[in-house]
A and B are shown apart, each in its own frame.
Chain A
Amino acid sequence: GAGVSQSPSNKVTEKGKDVELRCDPISGHTALYWYRQSLGQGLEFLIYFQGNSAPDKSGLPSDRFSAERTGGSVSTLTIQRTQQEDSAVYLCASSLNFQWGYTFGSGTRLTVV
């Protein structure tokens, strides 16, 4: 597609439920990143996929968080047993070459009630 697409755009879930967030990167972009942004805060790195290499999961805050990227394209971020502190905007970005910058989606706003 023309840009990075994320779905859903908004998600309200009850504490303790699992959620799945989806990212469709730009076709051909080999690198895919997940960040989260809390209100008034900077972007916090979560996970990075590069081609067929093992993902860099160093930013995942707990074992409740996991992500996969199927066929080098679509990625899903899963949060199990959601907590209120998981409420944030989850942003996905893709890139072909970091020197050309990352292209971000508009994010999924997750609210845990």
Chain B
Amino acid sequence: SQKIEQNSEALNIQEGKTATLTCNYTNYSPAYLQWYRQDPGRGPVFLLLIRENEKEKRKERLKVTFDTTLKQSLFHITASQPADSATYLCAPLSNDYKLSFGAGTTVTVRA
């Protein structure tokens, strides 16, 4: 069955540093992968989509890579700020256009 694994540990980093989150998937080959941010008590918010033929995608201080050989996506937050503290969800798109979500990685940025 399809499986999605994100960093099992929460990530605590100092303001200004880069946070790197990992998403690994098995047993399928998504053509698209999305990343979402979720704050406590709220629904996830869409951040970025990357296609299988794109190696890297950037949006402001965010960078996402997609390695279909390794079946892995990396999500980077550069120059991190306390406001970036949240849970980040990886969501590869299945062939029937449904998103499957990882359990998420919680990031805490210390001032």
User: When the two chains form their complex, are residues B98 and A99 in contact, meaning their CB atoms are under 8 A apart?
Assistant: no
User: When the two chains form their complex, are residues B89 and A99 in contact, meaning their CB atoms are under 8 A apart?
Assistant: no
Number of A-B contacts (CB under 8 A): 51
User: When the two chains form their complex, are residues A91 and B98 in contact, meaning their CB atoms are under 8 A apart?
Assistant: no
- Check if B44 is an interface residue, CB within 8 A of chain A: yes
How many residues of A sit at the interface, in one of the four size bands?
Answer: 20 to 34
CB distance from A7 to the nearest CB of B (A): 14
- Check if B100 is an interface residue, CB within 8 A of chain A: yes
User: When the two chains form their complex, are residues B103 and A101 in contact, meaning their CB atoms are under 8 A apart?
Assistant: no
User: When the two chains form their complex, are residues B43 and A42 in contact, meaning their CB atoms are under 8 A apart?
Assistant: no
Q: Tell whether A102 pairs with B49 under 8 Å between CB atoms, given A42-B4, A93-B43.
A: no
Partner of B42, one of A35, A99, A106: A106
- Check if B46 is an interface residue, CB within 8 A of chain A: yes
User: When the two chains form their complex, are residues B43 and A106 in contact, meaning their CB atoms are under 8 A apart?
Assistant: yes
User: When the two chains form their complex, are residues B32 and A106 in contact, meaning their CB atoms are under 8 A apart?
Assistant: no
User: When the two chains form their complex, are residues A101 and B49 in contact, meaning their CB atoms are under 8 A apart?
Assistant: yes
Q: Tell whether A48 pairs with B98 under 8 Å between CB atoms, given A42-B104, A43-B89, A98-B32.
A: yes
- Check if B79 is an interface residue, CB within 8 A of chain A: no
- Check if A41 is an interface residue, CB within 8 A of chain B: yes
Chain B residue at minimal CB-CB distance from A6: B43
User: When the two chains form their complex, are residues B101 and A42 in contact, meaning their CB atoms are under 8 A apart?
Assistant: yes
- Check if A112 is an interface residue, CB within 8 A of chain B: no
Identify which of A42, A45, A98, A106 gathers the most chain B CB atoms within 10 Å of its CB: A42
**C-beta contact mask, B71-105 vs A, less than 8 Å → 1, else 0?**
00000000000000000010001001111111110
Q: How far is the CA of A40 from the CA of B89 in the complex (A)?
A: 12
User: When the two chains form their complex, are residues B102 and A106 in contact, meaning their CB atoms are under 8 A apart?
Assistant: no
Q: Which residues of chain B come closer than 8 Å to A18, judged between CB atoms?
A: none
Beyond the given pairs A99-B49, A101-B49, 10 more chain A to chain B contacts, judged by CB atoms under 8 angstroms and listed by A's residue number, are A4-B43, A33-B98, A35-B101, A42-B4, A43-B101, A48-B98, A56-B98, A91-B44, A101-B36, A104-B44
